[in-house]
Amino acid sequence: MIHVENLYKKFGKNQVLSGLDLTIDQGGIFAILGPNGSGKTTLIKAILGMVIPNEGSISVLNTTIKNKWKYRQEINYLPQIANFPGNLKVRELIAMIKDIRQKPSEEENLIALFGLEPFLDKKLSNLSGGTKQKVNIVLTFMFNSPLIVLDEPTTGLDPLALIHLKELIFKEKAKGKTFLITSHIMQFVEEVSDEVVYLLEGKIYFKGSIEQLKTKTEETTFEHAIAAISTYNHHD
Amino acid sequence: MRSRWSYVYFLFYLLLGFVLLFLNNELSKAVITLMNVIIVLVPLIGTIFGVMYYYNSKEFTELLLAQPIKRSSIFLGQYLGVAGSLTMSLVLGLGIPFVLYGLFQSNAIWDFSLLLITGAFLTLIFTALAFNIALSNENKIKGFGYAVLAWLFLAVIYDGLFLMSLIVFEEYPLDSLSLAATMFNPIDLSRTLILLKLDISALLGYTGAIFKQFFGTGLGLVISICMLLLWTVLPIWRLGHIAKRKDF
């Protein structure tokens, strides 16, 4: 599904990714974890072609993505910060994205699910952070694509919306889709993810199931296992 | 938001056109006054609108970048949107009063069309320069500052340097130098083109005669238009080039 080889990325003097290799197979939910600034978002943006790597190659759905853009038709992406043009109404934004993607979409169910009907004719600049995130989720899930990338999907969501989001993720996973998720909420990661990819200093430090991680770190809870793996390195 | 401002811009030109015609009472005189306004104002507006639009639509750009659209189409689309609407405002805003005044019956029509064409070119050039500057500078204030400086340099400082060099090297033959120097500044180039078309090159003195010899011929006109085109195409090309490499 996704194959990343020897990826290097530097922002100014800051080496974010240094020789990262990663293979993601089709189907299942992969959580990308790591401390702040470990390169999670950079990796995701590189896969989406928004960040141009200094070195290395990425292929999505068996084609290298360099200088290509059509493959993004097969990816649904939820950005970390819902930065929408403030002068658009929610309805206009949804219509615009539909117009760009030219794909069948099912936004009505999603709008109803997250209770967004009263906001459809409001401008995006007047929405609260959580409501913006709900709009963000609707935009991400309304198309049927084999790869779904979620960057911090839980930010600002109320408990009910969080439950809906999890249901949505499981429903799509049952259809055989692949998810890449980053999150700092360990409880959420533990609930949804099949496999964990741990990034540290621009490399994959660990990749495997949560059980494997617990055995490796000899911890009983996932949260402590993650904490242990991040402190491991500091002692070396 | 952007459409509202281009309406204001349109209304401004409409008003300017009517006022100038009213005050001058003659088409060709109004064209001359208009030239002075266009030469300075059009580049300034193009620069400021270009920079403002780019920084304002940053979120929108990021949204589009994650969608299946080619990068160059996103940025070229934005550029053409701004430059196109500014050009439309200019052409319609000035065109309507002049047409109402009886432009088609007068012999000033060619002077006027040349004025609008150079105005359109200046809009395209300076909006493209502004986009280039904005794209290369993450920091809004820096980007804005550089863009205004670029305008100030080409509109005012360049002329000053040019004149100083003419005074310093006055013993040498300077025709080709001054010709070349004019070519390398789109504002000077436009001004010279219009002045010569208006047949007031006598005002320019000795250099005017040389310029007349050069620009007055068909070849001179073709070369100047080519230079303006080059000034338009190069920044647009660089725009696409940077856009391909930039991280978001």
Q: In chain B, which residue's Cα lies nearest the Cα of A12?
A: B247
In a domain, A141, yes or no: no
Q: Do B67 and A100 touch (CB under 8 A)?
A: yes
- Per residue of chain A (236 residues), give pLDDT as tens: 888 888 888 888 888 888 888 888 888 899 998 888 888 888 888 888 888 888 888 888 888 888 788 888 888 888 887 778 777 888 888 888 888 888 888 888 888 888 888 998 888 888 888 888 888 889 888 888 888 899 888 888 889 989 999 998 998 888 888 998 998 888 888 888 888 888 888 888 888 888 888 888 888 888 888 888 877 655 44
Nearest to A70 among B1, B63, B68 (CB): B68
Q: Supply the range of the domain harboring residue B136.
A: 2-245
Task: Give me the number of domains chain A comprises.
Answer: 1
pLDDT of B216:
66
Q: In chain B, which residue's Cα lies nearest the Cα of A87?
A: B1
Nearest Cα neighbor of B236 from B84, B89, B85, B116 is: B84
In a domain, A177, yes or no: yes
CA distance A227 to A214: 11
Angstroms from B65 CA to nearest CA on chain A: 7
Beta bridge partners of A180: A30, A149
In a domain, A28, yes or no: yes
CA distance A167 to B181: 68
CB-based contacts of A66, cutoff 8 Å, min separation 6:
A57, A58
Per residue in B77-92, pLDDT (tens digit) is 889 988 998 898 888 8
CA distance B29 to A79: 57
In a domain, A200, yes or no: yes
Question: How many helices and strands, by DSSP H and E, does chain A display?
Answer: 8, 10
DSSP H helical ranges for chain A = 40-48, 90-101, 107-113, 129-141, 159-174, 186-192, 210-217, 222-235
The edge-to-edge listing of strands for the beta sheet with A75-78 is: A75-78, A147-151, A178-182, A28-33, A195-200, A203-208
- Cα B125 to its chain centre, rounded Å, is 6
B245 interfacial to chain A (CB closer than 8 Å): yes
Task: Give me the number of domains chain B comprises.
Answer: 1
What number is the ipTM of this complex?
Answer: 0.78
CA distance B200 to B144: 36
Cα-trace Rg, chain B: 19
Q: Which of A81-90, B22-31, B80-89, B184-193 holds the top average pLDDT?
A: B80-89
Angstroms from A78 CA to nearest CA on chain B: 9
Residue A188: give its domain's CATH number: 3.40.50.300
Angstroms from A48 CA to nearest CA on chain B: 7
Q: Which residue in the block uniquely carries the two structure tokens 């639509």? A: B57
Q: In chain A, which residue's Cα lies nearest the Cα of B3?
A: A87
CA distance A175 to A169: 10
Number of residues that this document lists for chain B: 248
DSSP H helical ranges for B101-217 = 109-136, 140-152, 158-168, 175-183, 186-197, 205-215
Backbone dihedral region for residue B205 (phi beyond 0: left; psi -120 to 50: alpha; all else: beta): left
